[in-house]
Amino acid sequence: MTHSRYDIEMLSAYLDGELSQKEKIYIEEKIKSSLELQRKLNELKKLKSVTNESKPVLEESFYFEQRLMASLNFSRSKSEKIRKWLPVFTFSGLAAALIFVLSINPQFIRNIIEQQKGNLADFYKSNLKPLLYAANLSSEDIFNFALNEELPLDPSNSQILKLSYDQTGKEYFEIKQNSEASSKNNLNNFVSALELSEFEKTQMDSILKVYSEKISAQVLVSDKNAIAINPNIWNLRKAILADIITFAKKHGNENFRKIAPIDKVPLPDKNIVWLEKVKTQSPKDFIFVTPDTVFSAEINIDFAELNRDMIKATEELKKIEKENSRHKILFKFPKDSSLADLKENIKSDKSFRIFVHNNGVQVHLEKFEIPDLELPDFDSIASIISEATRNFSVVNVGPPQLPEVPVSNNFRIKRETNYFPKNREVNVDSVIEENNRRNELGNKRRQSNNNLHNDSSSNEIKIMVDSLIIKQNEELRRQIEQLRKEIEKFRHDMQNMKNKEKIEQYEEIIKMLEDQIEI
Amino acid sequence: MNSDNKKEDMEQPKILTLDDDFSLIKQFIDGDHDSFKVLVNRHKEKVRNIIYLTLMEPDVIDDIAQDVFITVFKNLKHFRFESQFTTWLYRITVNKCKDYLRKKAVRKIFSPIKDEEEDIASFRINEDPDIKEIVRNAIAKLPDKLRIPLVLRDMEGFSYQEIAETLNCEIGTVKSRIFRAREALRKILEPLEKELFV
C-alpha cells in the first residue's frame, strides 16, 4: 500500500513535533496500521539525526566587535562628511539641473517672469479708478493741460503728470511733484481776453467738460500707488488744444489775433470736432507706473459703463467736497522700491526707459507705439497763449487794493489772487511785448521766480522783482549807449591812423626802441 | 526557612529574557552605544552560524555578519518592539545571505564556464570518509529555498513559527519545504544509504 504525499509530509512534521493534537492522533493511527509509514518514519528520524550531527562547529571569530566598531566609526565619519558637504552637493546639483533645464527650454525663466508679470499686473489692475476720483479735474485743469501738458493728479495740485517729447521727438511722461505754484486763472484770463459772451463762455466750458471726462478715462489710478496711462492721451491733448484754438479763433477772432499771430495757425476751413478723431482710436494697452516697475498691460474698459460711473462719481465728489474730505492719492516711490533702486539711464524694459529723480519718475516710450492721428500741431501757439494768459494779471493790474493786514509773525499779506480789473479794455499788444522782453531775460531769473512762486504772497514779490529788472535794464541801456559812443570815437581814431600819421608813428616807435637798446 | 528561600531567589543569576534585548535597545536609543556591543556579543555566534549553514561558505561568514550588524546599528533606532529582536535580527541575516547568493548567481553568469562539481552520486569515499562532511556537501547541493528552512530546523533548532517569521512566509510553506528538503537530501544520499542509515 502506497501512502499519499500528504501523509508523508505530515510524517515529517510529526517528527518535528509540529502537528496539532488532531493531526497527531490521525497520523499515529496511520503509523500503527502501516509498515511502510513506520519504515518511512525511521528513515526520516535517521536523516534528521544525521543532519543534526553534521552541524559544523564554527570557530570563534576574534576581534569581531573591534572590527565592527571600526567599520561603524568609518561609516559614521563618512556619513558625517556627506552631511557636511550635502549643502554644496545640493546647490551644485540644483545649479546643474537649472543649466540642464535652461539648455532644453531657454524660455523657462522667461515664462516664469511673464507669469509673475501677469500676477503683478492683476494686482495693480484691481481698484483702478478714473482720475476724476482722485484729482477732480476742472475746466481750468483741462485748459492748462492743453497748453502746458501738465495734468494734476490730486486736488491740491501737488503732483502732476507731465507729457513731453524728447530730442528725437519720442514721447515721454513724468510723474513729479509740482514745483510751480498753480495758476488757477489762465482760462478765465484767456476767455476775458477774447471778450467772449456769456453764452460763448458756457460753450467753451462745455467743450472742456467733455474732455475732462475723456481724460479721466485715459488716466486711471489705484489705491495701490499705481497709475495707468493710456498712450492715446498725447493725441487727446492735441485734440483739446486744436478745439480750444478753433473755438477761440472762431469766436474771438480779432482778440485772438492779438494773442497769437493768426497767419501761423493752419486751421482747416471746415468745422472739425477733433475729439471725434481721437474717439475712434483708443488702445487697450495702458502703461502702468508702480513703485516696482513700469509695464504695459491690457485693460478692457466698458466706456458706456464708465460714463455712467463718471456721472455718479461726479455727484459723489460734490458731496465729498461739501464734507471737506477729498480723496488724496499721492504717488510715492519709496526708497526701498525697486524703481528707486535704479540709477538714471538704466533700461528696465525694452519698451520703456526709466529715469528716477528726486521729485518723481520719468518714463520714455522707447518701442511703445502711440496711435498716429492726423492732428494739428499747435505747440508753438500753445506756449504763446500760455505765456500771454499767465501775464494778464501781472501787466494790467493797477495798484492792488490790499485788504487789512492780519497781525501775525509771518507778516503774510492776504490778497485776492483772482483779482481782475473792472476795466475790460485789455491791451493785448502790451502783453506780447512784455512776454518777448521776459523771454530775453533767460533762465536765471525764471529759477529765482519759481522759488518765489511757492509763497502765497508771490504776486506782490513778482511785481517788485519786475520793477527791479526794469531798473537794471535802464542802467544796462545807459552803459551800452556809453560803450557805443566810445567805439565810435575809437573807430574814428583808427581811420585817421590809417593815413600818413601811421608811418610817422611807426618811425617814432622804432626810434624809441633804438634809443632804449642803446641805453 | 522562607527567608532562606527568598535569599536564594535573590542570588540566582539573572536569566536573560526578551526584555533584556529590549532594554539594551532602549539604552542604545537613549545614546548608550556600549549596549550595542552587548547585543553584538550576545547574538554574533548565532548570526555567524546561520550564515554558515545558509551559504556553506566559511570564507564569507564574518564579512556578511559584519554587514548584518552594521545594518542593525543603522536601523535600531527605528525598532518597533512588536516582535522579538532575534526574529528581526535573523530576518536581516537571511536577507543578507539571499543578497549574497543573488550577487553570486549574477557573477556566475559572467564568469568563464567551469566543470560542474562532482555529483554526490559519484562521490568517491575517501579511505577514511567523513560522514558529516558528506552530509554537509549534500545539504549544500539543495536549492536555497529548501536548504535554508531545513538547516534552521535541523541544525539550529528553530520552530516552524520562527522559520516562517524569519523567512517571512507561511507555516504551511515551511512545513512543505522542510519535507521536500528531506526527500531531496535522502535521494542525494541514496548511494550511501548503507553507510549512513544502517
Picking from A12, A55, A68, the nearest residue to B182 by CB comes out as: A12
Confidence of residue A424 (pLDDT cuts 50, 70, 90): very low
User: A457: pLDDT confidence band, cut at 50, 70 and 90?
Assistant: very low
Nearest to A65 among B40, B136, B154 (CB): B40
- Please give the single-letter amino acid code of residue A72: L
Classify residue A337 by its DSSP letter. S
Domains and CATH numbers, chain B: 15-114 (1.10.1740.10), 115-198 (1.10.10.10)
- CB contact under 8 Å between B197 and A48, yes or no, is no
ipTM of this complex:
0.80
Residues of A with CB under 8 A from a CB of B: 8-9, 12-13, 16, 18, 43-44, 46-48, 50-56, 58, 60-61, 64-65, 67-69, 71-72, 75
Give residue B116's Cα distance to chain centre: 27
- Whether the pLDDT of residue A137 is over 80: the answer is no
User: Using the beta-carbon criterion (under 8 Å), do A16 and B65 form an inter-chain contact?
Assistant: no
| A-B contacts (CB, under 8 Å) | 93
| Yes or no, beta carbons of B155 and A58 under 8 Å apart | no
Q: What is the pLDDT of residue A139?
A: 81
User: A459 pLDDT band (50/70/90 cuts)?
Assistant: very low
* 3-class DSSP string for chain B: CHHHHHHHHHHCCCCCCHHHHHHHHHHHHCCCCHHHHHHHHHHHHHHHHHHHHHHCCHHHHHHHHHHHHHHHHHHHHHCCCCCCHHHHHHHHHHHHHHHHHHHHHHHHHHCCCCCCCCCHHHCCCCCCCCHHHHHHHHHHCCCHHHHHHHHHHHCCCCCHHHHHHHHCCCHHHHHHHHHHHHHHHHHHCHHHHHHHHC
Task: State whether residue B188 sits within 8 Å of chain A by CB.
Answer: no
Question: pLDDT tens-digit profile of A66-111?
Answer: 888 888 877 666 677 777 778 888 889 899 988 888 888 877 777 8
How close B8 comes to chain A (CA, Å)?
34
Kindly report which listed range (A156-160, A371-375, A430-434, B150-154) carries the lowest average pLDDT score: A430-434
The pLDDT value recorded for residue A54 is 86
Termini Cα distance of chain B = 56
* List of residues 6+ apart from B178 with CB closer than 8 A: A12, A13, A16, B149, B150, B153, B160
Distance of CA A341 to the CA centre of its chain: 13
pLDDT of residue A207: 82
Cα separations (Å) of A255 from A190, A196, A383? 10, 10, 17
Question: What is the pLDDT, as a whole number, of residue A290?
Answer: 78
Give the mean model confidence (pLDDT) for residues A343-353: 56
Q: Is the pLDDT of residue A240 over 50?
A: yes
Q: What is the pLDDT of residue A476?
A: 83
Low-confidence stretches of chain B (pLDDT < 70) are 1-19, 111-129, 197-198
Residue range B133-169, pLDDT digits in tens:
888 888 988 998 899 999 999 998 999 999 999 998 9
Mean pLDDT of chain A: 71
CA A153 remoteness from chain centre? 13
**Which is higher by pLDDT, A58 or A322?**
A58
Cα nearest neighbour of B130 on chain A: A54
Contact list, A55 vs chain B (CB under 8 Å): 53, 155
Percent of chain A whose pLDDT exceeds 70? 59
Whether the per-residue pLDDT at A399 is higher than 60: the answer is: no
DSSP assignments along A104-137, one per residue: H-THHHHHHHHHHHHHHHHHHHTT-EEHHHHH--
- The pLDDT of residue B122 is 41
The tens digit of pLDDT for each residue in A109-135 reads 778 877 777 777 777 776 677 776 656
Distance from C-alpha of A179 to C-alpha of B45, rounded to nearest angstrom: 95
Q: How far is A59 from chain B (nearest CA, A)?
A: 9
Q: Retrieve residue A347's grid coordinates.
A: 533700461
Q: How confident is the model at residue A335 (pLDDT cuts 50, 70, 90)?
A: low
Partner-chain residue, chosen from A47, A54, A68, that has the shortest CB–CB distance to B69: A68
B22/chain A closest Cα distance in angstroms: 20
Total-model pTM: 0.40
Residue A392 pLDDT class (50, 70, 90 cuts): low
Residues 6+ apart with CB under 8 A from B166: B87, B90, B91, B94, B152, B158
| Angle separating helix axes B34-55 and B61-75, nearest 10 degrees | 140
**Maximum separation of any 2 CA atoms in chain A, in Å:** 176
Judge: A12–B159 Cβ closer than 8 Å, yes or no. Answer: no
Residue A407's pLDDT is 45
Rank A215-219, A320-324, B18-22, B162-166 by mean pLDDT and report only the highest: B162-166
E strand segments, A357-469: 360-365
